[in-house]
């Protein structure tokens, strides 16, 4: 059973692929399609609330034939945030939840959850704390609400959830920890909330397989032309799963995106597991 998750930073830019960056994004999306994952989770689609255009839908149908497609759009701010799941397996139900998050966060299309016979599979795009940490308080409230949400799912059946969680958990998870302790994504508060999420009964699949590995990142800042070249990155994209699924974790990979900076897709393999 193979799962891939990716913050695409605009589905439309990938499908139009009219710019050099858009072409790189399109090539990565094609690379993912060739792998035929059982489930693909996408964050930051940036789609408008009126849905996919005909061109966008046709492109996805071409790349991912015979997949079920589920989208959650931002209705609070058009063309912002948003998530999508493509699944080769038919779910029992689909949820686009509100979690009583602060402000407009519940209106930003940040979560999709599919229910299968044995498992919930969910994706999330966690809010960024923002420049000068302007949204840090709201971010902490989100973290508490989201943790409660996945804990409630876990009481019914195991959960596999992925996404851009916008936090590097430990110093080993970014290239320059000493200069980033007051940066969004590496504050003490955000890291502590991630620790609480793990303590609630969930496993970071990458760290389960690679407890001390350094230099593996999933995001490199676009504004720095040398970030990818120097591997000056952050690991802020995750597959997390209920601890009782640990024995099924077989492999984890950060997919190669070549010269493209920003987020890279991540891949989880579960051995001998049925949804």
Q: In terms of residue numbers, what domain contains 127?
A: 2-270
pLDDT, mean over the chain: 97
For residue 149, give the CATH number of its domain.
3.60.10.10
Q: Is 246 annotated among the ligand-binding residues? A: no
Q: What is the pLDDT of residue 152?
A: 98
Q: Is 166 annotated among the ligand-binding residues? A: yes
Label residue 67 by pLDDT band (50, 70, 90).
Answer: very high
Domain membership flag for residue 37: yes
Q: Is 180 annotated among the ligand-binding residues? A: no
Q: Which of 67, 70, 73, 125 is catalytic?
A: 125
Q: Tell me, yes or no, if 125 is annotated catalytic.
A: yes
Query: Per-residue pLDDT averaged across 57-70, rounded?
Result: 97
Domain membership flag for residue 144: yes
Q: Which of 9, 38, 154, 164 is catalytic?
A: 164
Domain membership flag for residue 41: yes
Query: Per-residue pLDDT averaged across 183-193, rounded?
Result: 97
Total domain count, the chain = 1
221 pLDDT higher than 90: yes
Domain membership flag for residue 275: no
Q: Is 181 annotated among the ligand-binding residues? A: no
Q: What is the pLDDT of residue 76?
A: 86
Q: Is 262 annotated among the ligand-binding residues? A: yes
Query: Per-residue pLDDT averaged across 174-199, rounded?
Result: 96
Q: What is the pLDDT of residue 224?
A: 87
Q: Tell me, yes or no, if 164 is annotated catalytic.
A: yes
211 pLDDT higher than 90: yes
Label residue 225 by pLDDT band (50, 70, 90).
Answer: confident
Domain membership flag for residue 172: yes
Q: What is the pLDDT of residue 229?
A: 93
Q: Tell me, yes or no, if 272 is annotated catalytic.
A: no
DSSP calls for the chain = -EEEEEE-S-HHHHHH--SHHHHHHHHHHHHHHHH--SEEEEE-----TT---HHHHHHHHHHSTT-EEEEE--SSSTTSS-EEEEESS--SEEE------STTGGGS--EEEEE-SS-EEEEEEPPP--GGGTTHHHHHHHHHHHHHHHHHHHTTS-EEEEEE-----SGGGBS--TT-TTSTTS-HHHHHHHHHHHHTTEEEHHHHH-TT--S--SEE-TT-TTTTTTT--B--EEEEEEGGGGGGEEEEEEPP-TT--EE--EEEEETT---
């Amino acid at each position: 059973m193979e799962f891939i998750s990716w913050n695409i930073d605009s589905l439309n830019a990938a499908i139009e692929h009219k710019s050099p960056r858009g072409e790189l994004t399109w090539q990565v999306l094609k690379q993912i399609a060739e792998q035929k994952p059982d489930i693909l989770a996408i964050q930051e689609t940036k789609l408008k609330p009126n849905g996919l255009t005909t061109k966008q839908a046709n492109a996805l149908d071409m790349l991912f034939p015979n997949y079920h497609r589920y989208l959650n759009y931002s209705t609070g701010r058009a063309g912002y945030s948003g998530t999508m799941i493509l699944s080769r397996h038919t779910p029992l139900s689909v949820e686009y939840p509100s979690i009583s998050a602060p402000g407009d966060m519940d209106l930003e299309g940040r979560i999709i959850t599919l229910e299968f016979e044995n498992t919930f599979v969910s994706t999330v795009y966690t809010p960024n704390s923002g420049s000068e940490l302007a949204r840090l308080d709201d971010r902490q409230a989100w973290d508490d609400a989201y943790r409660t949400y996945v804990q409630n799912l876990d009481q019914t059946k195991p959960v596999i959830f992925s996404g851009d969680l916008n936090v590097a958990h430990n110093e080993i998870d970014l290239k320059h920890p000493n200069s980033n302790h007051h940066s969004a994504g590496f504050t003490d508060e955000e890291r502590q909330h991630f620790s609480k999420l793990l303590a609630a009964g969930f496993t970071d699949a990458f760290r389960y397989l690679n407890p001390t590995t350094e230099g593996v990142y999933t995001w490199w800042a676009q504004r720095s032309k040398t970030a990818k070249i120097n591997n000056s990155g952050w690991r802020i994209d995750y597959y997390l799963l209920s601890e009782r699924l640990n024995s099924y974790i077989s492999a984890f990979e950060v997919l190669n995106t070549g010269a493209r900076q920003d987020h890279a897709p991540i891949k989880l393999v579960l051995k001998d597991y049925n949804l």
